[in-house]
Amino acid sequence: MIVVHGGFVFRNTVFMMLQPNHLPSMICALVLQSLNGCCYALLWSTAVAQVDGYFADDQRAMAQGILAACFSGLGYGLGCVLSGLVYDPFGHQGLLLTSSSVAIIGYLVFVFGK
């Protein structure tokens, strides 16, 4: 989880420094999107493993369904709406800072929740 949340913060920090219509920046953005995919996959697999560890065998399917609903439904649904509300007044810099802040909060919740 440290690697995942650190990867999200690193990606957002580098994105804030990229220049539009600049070839090295575009290449860097593509590489960072690959990093984002790896972080997402690692986050999801770790979350599923954590849920498997917390619940009994006969409750795992329900727990993973709830995890998927919260992650995909609630997370994406609220994320899309709230990111639009942040992007409109603050632009991409504000959105990237907010995303980094959410990643840091998520990391702290994970650490202190364990």
For residue range 3-34, list pLDDT tens digits in order: 899 999 999 999 999 998 999 999 999 999 99
Q: What is the pLDDT of residue 9?
A: 93
Tokens 């090295």 correspond to what residue? 24
Compute the CA torsion angle 36, 40, 41, 43 (nearest 10 deg): 130
User: What's the CA gap between 16 and 32, in Å, rounded?
Assistant: 12
pLDDT digits (tens, 9 = 90+) for 40-90: 999 899 889 988 988 998 999 999 999 999 888 888 888 889 999 999 999
Q: What is the mean pLDDT of residues 81-102?
A: 93
Q: What is the pLDDT of residue 8?
A: 92
- Which helix (H) or strand (E) is 108 found in, with range? helix 76-113
DSSP type of residue 55: S
C-beta separation of 71 from 44 below 8 A: yes
